[in-house]
Amino acid sequence: MEYLNILGHWEGWVYLLILSALEIVLGIDNIIFISIVTDKLNGKNKRIARNTGLTLALIIRLGLLAAVSWVMQLIDPLFTVFGQAFTGQGLVLIAGGLFLIYKSTIEMHKSVKGEEEASTSGKTKLSAIIMQIVIIDVIFSFDSIISAVGMTNGIQKEVGENPIAIIFLSVIISMIVMLIFAAKISKFISDNPTIKMIALSFLVTVGVLLIAEAFGQHIPKGYVYFALVYSLSVEMLNIKRRKNTGIDEQK
């Protein structure tokens, strides 16, 4: 129970609010990926895959938090190639970035070629979709946990309490929020092909950022999220215009 002592300080509640917001923001790309890969499934399986994916994300993140000392060791250099040091975290980010770029590019290609209906009628296995979600959950979980631990170093120095409790609570809160809104986000992306293309482009960019970060190039993700929000805002205006003028977006 001593881990909960940090909630006896107002700074602990402030950090809990900030961390929860951070986890929700960092979970946006996770929700987008899950929404896109589950779009091929029927209604029941789509819900099962989505809920299973987010539940696994919660379990994986809590598991990594329980082994947080091991996770933080992943930022130590493992080997060097041509003067570039690679860490365990870096290797995970490279693998995740390549996977995101590959998967998103394939989905974009299918959308442009109009092959989505054919893939939907094929034998898309629920287990294969869930496996893809697990892979991306692991990638995003490492990024999320390391960011959270880095942010809470300050409060540990300020109040002298272990911040692990507020990290656990922020992860749980963010996952509950994502579970509540995941279905609506998934349906919105599925119903609007242009929004889906923007989302896929965003995932490609996230993949590039993960690889760049693995090579020590830290690009603030805020720029990418701003570009996503701006693009979505413009497209929302286009959708409203098409609706008001009687233009069907699906055509």
pLDDT score at 121: 42
Burial class (CB in 10 A: 0-12, 13-18, 19+), 105: middle
Rounded Cα distance, 122 and 125, in Å: 9
pLDDT at 84: 79
pLDDT at 120: 46
User: In this structure, what is the dihedral angle of CA atoms 207, 213, 219, 221, given to the nearest 10 degrees?
Assistant: 50
Considering its fold, how many domains does the chain have in total?
Answer: 1
Residue 21 lies in a domain: yes
Task: Output the CA torsion 239→108→145→83 (10° steps).
Answer: -130
Cα–Cα distance, 156 to 141 (Å, whole number): 22
Per-residue pLDDT of the chain (251 residues; tens, 9 = 90+): 555 666 666 677 777 787 788 778 777 888 888 888 887 787 788 888 888 888 887 888 788 777 766 766 667 777 787 777 888 778 888 888 898 899 889 888 887 776 554 444 444 578 888 888 888 887 777 777 776 776 666 665 665 566 677 778 888 888 888 888 888 888 888 788 888 888 888 888 888 988 888 887 877 777 888 888 888 888 888 888 877 776 554 44
Q: What is the pLDDT of residue 138?
A: 78
Of the candidates 169, 148, 136, which has an alpha carbon nearest to the alpha carbon of residue 4?
A: 169
Any domain includes 229 = yes
Asked whether residue 125 is assigned to any structural domain, the reply reads yes
Name the pairing type of β-strands 84-87 and 77-81.
antiparallel
d(CA 250, CA 192): 8
Answer yes or no: are the C-beta atoms of 140 and 26 closer than 8 Å.
Answer: yes
Residue-range definition of the domain harbouring residue 198: 2-244
| Tokens found for residue 42 | 């029927």
Nearest Cα to Cα of residue 32 among 14, 9, 53, 18: 53
Rounded Cα distance, 203 and 154, in Å: 31
pTM metric for this prediction: 0.73
pLDDT at 160: 59
Residue 84 bridge partners (DSSP) = 81
Do residues 67 and 138 touch, judged by C-beta distance below 8 A?
Answer: no
Bin 248: left if φ > 0, else alpha if -120 < ψ < 50, else beta.
beta
Rounded to an integer, what distance in angstroms lies between the CA atom of residue 157 and that of residue 148?
15
pLDDT of 55 reads 85
Indicate whether 196 belongs to any domain. Answer: yes
pLDDT given for residue 122 in this prediction: 40
Give a yes or no: residue 250 inside a domain: no
Q: Is residue 138 part of a domain?
A: yes
Q: Is 251 among the domain residues?
A: no
Q: What is the pLDDT of residue 241?
A: 83
In a domain, 47, yes or no: yes
